[in-house]
Structures are given as structure tokens and as C-alpha cells.
């Protein structure tokens, strides 16, 4: 399936109007029907590398509700390649919406304990995994490789080709998408990473991804936006997402972009950006994550709220 053009939309919210900041959103969530958001930019170079080197199988890692695993499985099917997901957690997760879609796309799922999953970056573990899958390309969790960095640098260039902002923002898990975004910056532009995990190693990891000879440290910063931890989701956060949807007509995912936007609104309210500043937020997709949250949404805000979210998902 061919990707769509990346659209940059003006975002009108009360906090931005009051602060005099111009907000825009790069709708990467709409760029590809299979791998929305940053996943398209992170995964596309891996598929191109696999095809160029006659590699038929891709192996990667993720949790039971991983956007990365979901996108990898569906794109692999589209490219005619095999895929294997090393999944953190129990076999019972296989029936959730994310992994059901991955299995239906042909991905073989291998469930491992949390202890074993912690070994996923180790050289010995990866060497053993490569022996088990000798013809496969092993992709790090989240697609976080140098190929992904180059792909996400293209995202910055695609945005700048349409609209040039002073600041770019994106939610970060592993930090690879943000590192790529930084690598694509033009002179005087800055970028902010909104960290959705409590991860003390994020800053060092982002730094390791970036060519320090080309990038100055003051060109980027990291803002904590975990709101209790990864995948933590409560009534206050859901209310923010629904309010954002009402103000903008844009649905945010429950884990990544919504936390970035929430923290950004707090910064706007506190007057942390100069009047006239132009900010482009990257909507990194992940809307499939809502499919496993129906019961939680109904419990927190009632069936009407779920109907609103579901109607948006069905319209995409």
C-alpha cells in the first residue's frame, strides 16, 4: 500500500491562543494505513534493506499492545515477508486486538518471560536468536536502529518542505524517532522530546543515536511526560484527550502523543514559550492502541465517550 502525503494542520486550542503561540500538527497518523505515524518512517528503511539484501524474514520485540509489533506484522505482509514477534508476557495476550491483528497478518508470536525479555539488547542473547533465525534481520525493540534514525530525519525534511516551525515536538519511548527528528533539523530550529516512560537512560540513548559533530546539544531538550508511568491511563488523562478531540477534531492515542500534548498545554499555560513561537507537533499514530481500551474508557467516562472514540476510528 502506498503512503499518503504528510499533511500539516493548524491546531486551534485555547491555551495556544492565550499564549500567542502558533501550533501545528504533522498528521503522521494518517500517512500509511498499515504503519501509522513514526512507525512508517522507522520501519520503511528496514524493509528496503531487507529487500535489497534478499532477506525474507524479520524478527523484532515488543509488549502485548506494541504499536511497533502491530505495524511490523502488517507491513511485512504487504511486502511479502515473514515476521516473528518476541513478545513480553504470557500466551493469554495472544487474543488481544493488537496481537490478533499481528497473527492475522501472518506474524509468528513467541512469548517470553519478563526476565528473558530484559536480555533483548545483550550481544549473547542476540547471537543465540540469530542462530535460531539465521536468515532473518533482527530489528531492535521499537525499530530503534540507525536505519530508523535516517528514516525519521526524512520526517523532519518532509515537514519542513511544507511548513517551517521554530520547534518540533514528538513523544518518545526509545528515543530513536526523536533522534532522527533532531538529525533533520535546519539551522535555528529546535526539538523537544516528551518522555512517556520513567527512563533515566533516555538522554544518553538519544545522544548515542545522534552525530555530535553535526548537532549541538542546545538544539534539543527532553521534557518528562509520563504521568505516572508508561501506559498509565486515568480519568484525568481521558478527559484531556476528549477535550482535545472536541477543540481540534483530532483523536490522540492514549499513550504517546496525548501525553506530549498534555504536557505541552501545561507549558503553554505556564508561559514557557515566547509569543509568536511556531511549534509543529508530530502525531506519531498508535491509534490502534484504543482497541484494547474499550472497557476502561466506558468505566471512566461512560459508553458515549467510547462511542465518540470508536466513531473517529471507524472514519479513518
C-alpha cell at 250: 483530532
What pLDDT was estimated at residue 212? 64
The CATH number assigned to the domain with range 8-33+146-315 reads: 3.40.50.1100
What pLDDT was estimated at residue 3? 57
What pLDDT was estimated at residue 5? 82
What pLDDT was estimated at residue 179? 92
CB-based contacts of 22: which residues, under 8 Å, 6+ apart?
10, 16, 165, 276, 277, 278, 279
What pLDDT was estimated at residue 217? 56
Only one residue has cell 533515566, namely: 200
Domain regions of the chain by residue span? 8-33+146-315, 38-143
What pLDDT was estimated at residue 251? 96
161 C-beta neighbours (distance < 10 Å), count: 10
Task: Tell me which H or E stretch contains 138.
Answer: strand 136-138
- From residue 158, alpha-carbon distances to 37, 181, 281 in Å are 13, 11, 13
CB 74 within 8 A of CB 98: no
What pLDDT was estimated at residue 222? 95
What pLDDT was estimated at residue 232? 80
CB-based contacts of 5: which residues, under 8 Å, 6+ apart?
31
pLDDT in tens, 260-300: 999 999 999 999 999 999 999 999 998 988 988 999 999 99
Tell which CATH architecture fits domain 38-143.
3-Layer(aba) Sandwich (3.40)
What pLDDT was estimated at residue 59? 98
The segments of the chain whose pLDDT lies below 70 read 1-4, 33-34, 211-218
Q: Which of 305, 26, 315, 4 is closest to 171 using CA atoms?
A: 26
What pLDDT was estimated at residue 187? 86
What pLDDT was estimated at residue 207? 87
Q: Which of 195, 159, 294, 194 is closest to 238 using CA atoms?
A: 294
- The rounded distance, in Å, linking the Cα atoms of 202 and 256 is 15
Amino acid at each position: 500500500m502506498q503512503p499518503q502525503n504528510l499533511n500539516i494542520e493548524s491546531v486551534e486550542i485555547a491555551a495556544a491562543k492565550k499564549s500567542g503561540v502558533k501550533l501545528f500538527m504533522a498528521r503522521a497518523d494518517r500517512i500509511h494505513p498499515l504503519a501509522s505515524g513514526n512507525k512508517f518512517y522507522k520501519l520503511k528503511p528496514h524493509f528496503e534493506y531487507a529487500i535489497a539484501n534478499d532477506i525474507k524474514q524479520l524478527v523484532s520485540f515488543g509488549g502485548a499492545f506494541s504499536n511497533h509489533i502491530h505495524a511490523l506484522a502488517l507491513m511485512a505482509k504487504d511486502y511479502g515477508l515473514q515476521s516473528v514477534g518476541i513478545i513480553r508476557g504470557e500466551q493469554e495476550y495472544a487474543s488481544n486486538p493488537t496481537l490478533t491483528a499481528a497473527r492475522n497478518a501472518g506474524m509468528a508470536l513467541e512469548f517470553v518471560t519478563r526476565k528473558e525479555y530484559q536480555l533483548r539488547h545483550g550481544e549473547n542473547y542476540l547471537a543465540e536468536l540469530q542462530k535460531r533465525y539465521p536468515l532473518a534481520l533482527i530489528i531492535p525493540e521499537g525499530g530503534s536502529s540507525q536505519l530508523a534514525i535516517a528514516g525519521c530525519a526524512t520526517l523532519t525534511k518532509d515537514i519542513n518542505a511544507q511548513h517551517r516551525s521554530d520547534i518540533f515536538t514528538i513523544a518518545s519511548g526509545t528515543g530513536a524517532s526523536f533522534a532522527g527528528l533532531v538529525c533533520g533539523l535546519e539551522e535555528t530550529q529546535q526539538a523537544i522530546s516528551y518522555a512517556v516512560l520513567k527512563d533515566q537512560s533516555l538522554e544518553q540513548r538519544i545522544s548515542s543515536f545522534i552525530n555530535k559533530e553535526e548537532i549541538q546539544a542546545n538544539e534539543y531538550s527532553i521534557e518528562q511526560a509520563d504521568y505516572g508511568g508508561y501506559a498509565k491511563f486515568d480519568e484525568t488523562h481521558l478527559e484531556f484527550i476528549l477535550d482535545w478531540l472536541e477543540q481540534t477534531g483530532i483523536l490522540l492515542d492514549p499513550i504517546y502523543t496525548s501525553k506530549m500534548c498534555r504536557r505541552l498545554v501545561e507549558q503553554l499555560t505556564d508561559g514557557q514559550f515566547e509569543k509568536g513561537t511556531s511549534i509543529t507537533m508530530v502525531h506519531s499514530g498508535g491509534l490502534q492502541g484504543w482497541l484494547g481500551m474499550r472497557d476502561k474508557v466506558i468505566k471512566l467516562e461512560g459508553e458515549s465517550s467510547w462511542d465518540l472514540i470508536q466513531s473517529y476510528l471507524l472514519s479513518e
